[in-house]
Structures are given as structure tokens and as C-alpha cells.
Amino acid sequence: DAKTTQPPSMDCAEGRAANLPCNHSTISGNEYVYWYRQIHSQGPQYIIHGLKNNETNEMASLIITEDRKSSTLILPHATLRDTAVYYCIVRVDPGGTSYGKLTFGQGTILTVHP
């Protein structure tokens, strides 16, 4: 699976947009970009995923560059409850023998302050 690089930490003011970058320069054509977050002492929460098109759901937007070597997760109006560790993960399209497992890196600690 391709490796991802994220900044170790970021700050954001409450009510402002939080833009979390992720570098995945070795991504392959059959690999998706997934974002999860983990609030302290809880299991990871799914946020969003995409292959090459930008995606939006009720939680966030995912912007993937045209060459697919990087992406940005956007939380449009961050709240204090969005403080968490955010993981950007490249996942092989599951099937055959791959199982599509998720390999976690160190993630980005996002702190939203008042």
C-alpha cells in the first residue's frame, strides 16, 4: 500500500475551515484515499473517501489533486468537537486476496480552539 505523509499537528479556530493536507505521491491507480479520525480513547470514525474526483458529504469535503499525489480534507466550520487525530490512508480496492486493509500512519492532531 502507498504511504502517506501528514503534518503532525495543526490548529484551527472554532467556526473556521480546517484544511488538512496529505501527501501520497506513490499512490497507484487502484488505490483510494480514505480519511478517518480518532477522538481520544475511541475507535476511529469514518469521514470520507475518494478515488480521483472531489467528494463531499455531511461531515467534510475531500479534494484530490489531478495527479492524485496529494489530497486535502476540509472541515468547513470546525467545532471544538472536531479536535481529534485525523488519519489519511491509502487503501487498495478490496477484492481477490487484498482484503483492502487499512494501514494507519501517525496522522495529524487537529486542535480546534475557541
Partner 1 sequence: GAVVSQHPSRVICKSGTSVKIECRSLDFQATTMFWYRQFPKQSLMLMATSNEGSKATYEQGVEKDKFLINHASLTLSTLTVTSAHPEDSSFYICSAGTVGNTIYFGEGSWLTVV
Query: Quick one: cell of 55?
Result: 467528494
Helix, strand or coil, per DSSP, at residue 57 = coil
Our finding on whether 102 is near partner 1 (CB under 8 A) is yes
Among 20, 35, 86, 107, binds partner 1 (CB under 8 A): 107
CA separation for the pair 78, 66 (Å, rounded): 26
Among 29, 42, 66, 114, binds partner 1 (CB under 8 A): 42
Our finding on whether 87 is near partner 1 (CB under 8 A) is yes
Our finding on whether 80 is near partner 1 (CB under 8 A) is no
Query: Quick one: cell of 33?
Result: 484515499
The separation between the first and the last C-alpha atoms of the chain, rounded to the nearest angstrom, is: 38
CB of 111 to partner 1, least distance (A): 15
CB of 82 to partner 1, least distance (A): 17
Contacting positions for partner 1 (CB under 8 A)? 34, 36, 38, 41-46, 49, 87, 93-95, 99-107
